[in-house]
Structure formats: structure tokens, C-alpha cells
Structure 1
Amino acid sequence: MYILELYQNNYSKDLVAFDSLDEGRDFVSKIPGYTIEKEYGLENEYFNPENIPDYMEIIYNENIVPLSRFMFEPEENVEIIWKEISNLSVTKDKIIEGYSKIDAYIIDNEEVKSYIEEREVKYGFIKEFLESKGYEVGRSFFGSEDGEAIIYRKKESEEWHFLCHLDPSLLDIKNLKINLEEIVDEGLI
């Protein structure tokens, strides 16, 4: 299922929903001045409100959708954004399609469980390793632009230091123990 969002100048309106993107695009093609541009493999859809009359109706599957140029600011295009959403009224017995925001990162729903599990295992390993070397380890910056991070300090110190973010790049490190040993041996922490 796809929700049609109209977006202009930090204002958005979820207008209607469709079972397929093809149906949705058939509907928006009836908006005067509707444009779809393809650039770098991405599609950008929009319309200019100056092309909309004072009042019009778009009839789709016997539904009447009112539209007016007075609904929008005249100077800027209105972006058309498609938001895919799962219909839980339909039984599928699988993880819903789409993505989830995990801290500061967007993760495919199919990968959310393994991403969180691997992230927490790596955090636990780093924490255990650094504590064995005499460091106190914590987490900070949850919800920040770059996401949650691992911080550390010598037990007798009051000053915390940044080690790394708990982000997808941390999960790409295969030999974490070797990397941590090199960091500690080189006196970087």
C-alpha cells in the first residue's frame, strides 16, 4: 500500500492511499502540470500549484478528491512523495516491508533484528575488552545526528573520551579484537 504525501515548504499532507504505485501514479497524472523527472536513477515527482485552477475535482474509482490552488503556496513546486506502508489487514506471515529508524540510521525491516543483535554483541565485546584493560566504558549521544557512541575513560579519570559510533560501519569490522588491541597498544586510548 502506498500513501500519497504532498510536501511543500516544511508542510506535508497525506492525501490518499493506493494498493499499488501504478495506481497512485495514474491518479497524480490527472493533476495539471504533474511532472516526473529521472536523474541519476532517482525519480522526482512534483507539480506547480500555478497550474491548478481555483477548484477542481479528480475522480478516481468513483471517489472525488477536491484540489485547489489555494491549498498551496504559489511560488514553489509541490513534491509528491510515495510512502510505502504495510496493510496488516492482509495476512502475509512475514516481516513488513519497508525500513525502520534505529538510532540515527535507516535499516531495512528484514535486517533490523540481526542489525540490533550484532550491534549489541559488538558493544558487549568492546566493553568487556576495554574493561579488562582498566577502562570504564559507557554509551552516549543516543538520538544525536550521528547516533549513539561508545565512550571510555580510565577509572581514575573524570574525563570521558569518544571511541566510535554504534553505526553500520562498526558492524563491517570483522577482526574487532585485533583492531582494539592495535588501538590500545598504540596508546590511542
Structure 2
Amino acid sequence: MLRPRGEVILSAGAIGSSQLLMLSGIGPNHSLIGWGISVAHHLLNVGNAMRDNPRNALSFISPVRLPLPLIQVVAIATNVFLEAASNFLPFTPRSCSSFLFPRYSSIPLNIVYVMAKILDPLPSGFLRLASSNVCDDPLVRFNYFEEGLDLQRYVKGVRLVARVLKTNAMEQFEFSEQRFGEREFWYLDNVRLPANVSIDDSVGEFY
């Protein structure tokens, strides 16, 4: 029950909360009036100062069975940190394999994700309504890398990922190369780090 001078806590995340407030008539009046929404309270900051952590992610198949943890922070450096996670992915959808290929079951794949994120990005963006329909996703712009310093931090994060992949602890995730006897990661979609992470331009384009 809502009473005068009461308090409502809206917990729908940064994007969902801003959208619901604006659809309810709370936000910048010029944005609300444009969609025919009655203004209950003019609040200019709703939908502004939107920030998100830019990140890059490498994903590769693991030859060993892994648990399914939540995303975990595995390394911290100045203004950048690394996260890691694993996932269990069927190579073929179970419904398809049992119907079309009854002799063969789906092949489970263990996927490893290593991600570098920028801590406290400098630019901020905005959120605007795409319509007055709550089912329509809002328009969001985070203005990634508008500040050159963030791009420098990003390059630093990519280099940190490269260092982690070369550690002894990561050798268990490499496959043996049959032709040359070398070991390497099996990246998904053939997305891998630049060959030379010491070149800023090539690292900066890896996103």
C-alpha cells in the first residue's frame, strides 16, 4: 500500500529503472512529452550519466571438465581488472540430436571466458525512450572510448590478458597441435589476441 510521503524502491537495474521511471512520468519533461507521457515529476538526471565498463572477451574450448562458477575477478591492475568464467555448452542441441541422430548424443563443450574490463570509465552516456511501450527496449549510448585515457587502459587490459594466457596455470587449457607438436588454445569464432600486443594500434582495434 502506498501512502503520502512514502518511499518506493525501484530495483530494475540501471537501464530498467531509468526506463520505468520515464514511462511512469518521472524524468526530463521534454523527453516524456514527446512520447505523450504525462509528466508526474520533472527530474532532469533520469536517463543521464549512464556508464558501462568496456570489456574485451576471449573464449576458448577447455579440454578439461570445469565447474560452472559465477564470473570471478582473477586479476587486478591499476584502472583495469580481469574476470573469468566457464560455461557448459552442448555441441548439438539435445532436441535435434535425439530426433535426427538417435545413435549419437550431444557432445558437451566446456568453454572458458577471460575478460578485461576498464574500472570506472571516464565518459558517460544517456538513455532515451524508444517509445511509450514498456516492451520496447530503450535507446542507450555509453560513449565508449570517447576519452583517450580509457583506450590506454583498455590496451593495458589486453596486454594483461596476454600475460595471463602465457602462465603455467593456463597450460591445462591448451590442446596439442597434431602437425607440429605445439600446444595452443582452441578459440571460438577464431577470435584471438593480436600477434604483437606491443603495438598500441593493433591492440586498440581488438574489441
TM-score range, shorter chain: under 0.3
Flag the structure with larger Rg. Answer: 1
TM-score normalised over the length of structure 1: 0.25
Flag the structure with higher strand content.
1
